[in-house]
Structure 1
Amino acid sequence: MVAPSSLPFDPVEEAARKWSARWDDADAMAVATSIMRVQQLLLGRIETALRPLNLTFARYEALVLLCFSRNGSLPMSKMGQRLMVHPTSITNIVDRLQAQEFIRREPHPTDRRTTLVAITDSGREVTERATQALVAVRFALDSLEPDQMKSLYDLLRDVRLHAGDFPEDHGIRTWPNAFTETDSP
Structure 2
Amino acid sequence: MPTPLHRDPIVDAHANWVRAGWTEEAEPMAAITALVRTEKILTQRIEAVLKPHALTFARFEVLALLEFSRTGALPMNRASALLQVHPTSITNAVDRLEQAGLVTRAPHPTDGRTTLISLTPDGQRVMRAAAKDLNAQVFAQSGFTPDDVRDLTRILSRFRRAAGDFA
TM-score under structure 2 length normalisation? 0.93
Query: Percent identity at matched positions?
Result: 44
Moved over 2 A (4+): 3-7, 138-142
Unmatched 5+ stretches in structure 2: none
Match of 2:147 in 1: 147
Whether the 8 Å CA contact 1:42–1:140 is kept in 2: the answer is: no
User: Letter of the aligned partner of 1:16 in structure 2?
Assistant: H
Matches within 5 A, 1:1-185: 3=1, 5-24=3-22, 25-139=25-139, 141-167=141-167
Counterparts of 2:138 and 2:43, CA distance in 1: 12
Question: 1:165 deviation in Å?
Answer: 1.5
Q: Closer, same or farther in 2 for the Cα pair 1:14/1:101, shift >3 Å?
A: same
CA separation of 1:22 and 1:140: change in aligned 2, threshold 3 A: farther
1:123-168 Cα deviation digits (max 9, x unpaired): 000011001000112427531111111111111111111112212x
Q: Distance in 2 between matches of 1:141 and 1:164?
A: 30
Asked if the contact 1:42/1:139 (under 8 Å) is kept, the reply is: no
CA root-mean-square deviation: 1.4
Number of equivalent positions: 165
> Residue 137 of structure 1 aligns to a residue in which SS?
helix
The question of whether the paired residues in 2 share the 8 Å contact of 1:102 and 1:119 is answered with: yes
Q: Given that residues 46 and 139 in structure 1 are in contact (C-alpha distance below 8 angstroms), is that contact kept between their aligned partners in structure 2? A: no
Q: Equivalent residue for 1:173?
A: none
Which is further off, 3-12 or 155-164? 3-12
Assess, with a 3 A threshold, how the Cα gap between structure 1 residues 139 and 45 changes in structure 2: closer, same or farther: same
Secondary structure at 1:142 match in 2: coil
Distance 1:140 1:125 in 2: 21
SS in structure 2 opposite 1:105? strand
CA 12–43 in structure 1, closer or farther in 2 if over 3 Å, else same: same
| Partners of 1:4 and 1:163 in 2: CA distance | 32
Unaligned runs of 5+ in 1: 168-185
Q: CA deviation at 1:6?
A: 4.7
Please identify which structure carries the higher helix content.
2
